[in-house]
Structure 1
């Protein structure tokens, strides 16, 4: 009966020990109490050892040793748990720092993406503008090429001539066509210095101008007629007085057909003067073909 009571008490101690371990571990006082209880049970058991077999006492001693060993292991586990908790705290701090860094990088990445999107939009706009400019440039180039072709195909006509270096010409008893022998410009060879006649090479609008001088005498007359195909366009007329000089000049824009002729006649009883200073001149050029 006593043996059974001692065995029950030991089992209660083991149960209590297990409960303490599950609730957070054994303290040193708990281990000491277990050892004292084990010794008391040992004493009680000794008083009755004459009635208990040696195998039961050996098993009880083995159980006691196991309880003590478990208590030591629990203390070690508690230390390991505390160490792991500390390491976990450090890891959590590092993790939080990493999370903050990730958030910062995400914000920076968002900002970079917004800037990149803005840059792409600007680039697209510039590309559109460049496309428009290229189209306009191509159009302008085509227009320039067309103008160059038209200009190349368009006849180039211009002349500027002087009368003579000999001095005075005239007066004559009849009108004469003035033959301007000094050629300054004769593009297109439309003016003939042998006849004094300009012949229109193409149908178009032309500009003509003349200037004449008479000097060194009194009562000298200067009179220049402009003719178009034998039709008088104008008469420019003046008189020299008091041994001075007189000048006449005029200009016209005329529409001519191909083959039309323009020339200057010196009027009857009139004279003109010219020398190396080119006092009497005749010029004209094509404004545009028609």
Structure 2
């Protein structure tokens, strides 16, 4: 009977302990002294009815304490298992995150390598551009210097052109070209005469006088003169000469006894202002002209002195 009672009390204690664990209403500290005393009183009452010895109560108390201790340890183990499960889940999540970060890191490293290569290429291109820029700047500076020189030369040339324009505007313009006559022969005369070239082709500056047949130099300078004489009869002699003031410069007489007779000459003379140039027909000589203008006298100012 004692053994049966003890077994029943043990079962009751185990059932009560399990019920407390499943309901979640207790922990290792939830079993109070009042509960223990109630259980002891209940068991004691039963023991009084069944005459159980005090040794059984000690064993029951020991068994109860063991059951409580095991329950506490079980709950700790369950809690640890839950925590372990949570930690494993978190660890798995962390490992997944680490793997993802590794993949991202690999991608970033690849992108970083690409960026570094691009940076190096840009550095080389930048260096080339700097070199080209320096060359261009040097060329610009050289062109600026050349432009400055050219501007100075252009200014000088412009000044010279203006000076030449002024000189040209101030320099007298002198040129004449005249023919002798349309009447045919002139001469012969028993004395030298000044030929009066009466047909005016050009007389710029009016330095030649068709009335006197004399050219008067308006300025000191170098002058060019040319003359030509003509005769239709081969048996006749042409005799003309050019005078500077009262000095004979050149003369021509000619007869070929074959056909028409012509003479010509030209020269450059330095004249002072007021000097005169004219043509003389020698005495006893003949010269002829007509509308074809075979006998002419020309001259113009080359440049003043």
TM-score, structure 1 as length reference: 0.74
Question: Larger deviation: 222-231 or 56-65?
Answer: 56-65
* Alpha-carbon spacing, 1:184–1:48, altered in 2? closer, same or farther (3 Å): same
Distance 2:295 2:117 in 1: 98
State the Cα distance separating 1:286 from its structure 2 match.
Answer: 1.3
The answer for unaligned runs of 5 or more in structure 1 is 1-45
State the partner residue of 2:240: 224
State the Cα distance separating 1:270 from its structure 2 match.
Answer: 1.1
Q: 2:118 matched to 1:101?
A: yes
State the aligned residue count: 243
Conserved 8 A contact 2:225-2:268 = yes
Report the RMSD for the aligned CA atoms in angstroms: 2.6
State the partner residue of 1:153: 170
Query: Which of residues 144, 148, 155 in structure 2 aligns to 1:127?
Result: 144
State the partner residue of 1:169: 186
Q: 2:146 matched to 1:144?
A: no
| 1:102-139 superposed Cα distances (whole Å, 9 cap, x missing partner) | 22233223323333333333333333333322322222
Conserved 8 A contact 1:179-1:194 = yes
* Alpha-carbon spacing, 1:47–1:67, altered in 2? closer, same or farther (3 Å): farther
TM-score, structure 2 as length reference: 0.71
State the partner residue of 2:87: 70
State the partner residue of 1:184: 201
Query: Which of residues 206, 227, 235 in structure 2 aligns to 1:210?
Result: 227
| 1:72-110 superposed Cα distances (whole Å, 9 cap, x missing partner) | 432332232222222222222222222222222332233
State the partner residue of 1:88: 105
State the partner residue of 1:114: 131
Distance 1:223 1:54 in 2: 168
* Alpha-carbon spacing, 1:120–1:47, altered in 2? closer, same or farther (3 Å): farther
* Alpha-carbon spacing, 1:188–1:95, altered in 2? closer, same or farther (3 Å): same
Distance 2:172 2:111 in 1: 89
Q: Which has the larger radius of gyration?
A: 2
The answer for unaligned runs of 5 or more in structure 2 is 1-62
State the Cα distance separating 1:248 from its structure 2 match.
Answer: 2.4
Conserved 8 A contact 1:214-1:240 = no
State the partner residue of 1:270: 285
Aligned-partner SS, 1:164: coil
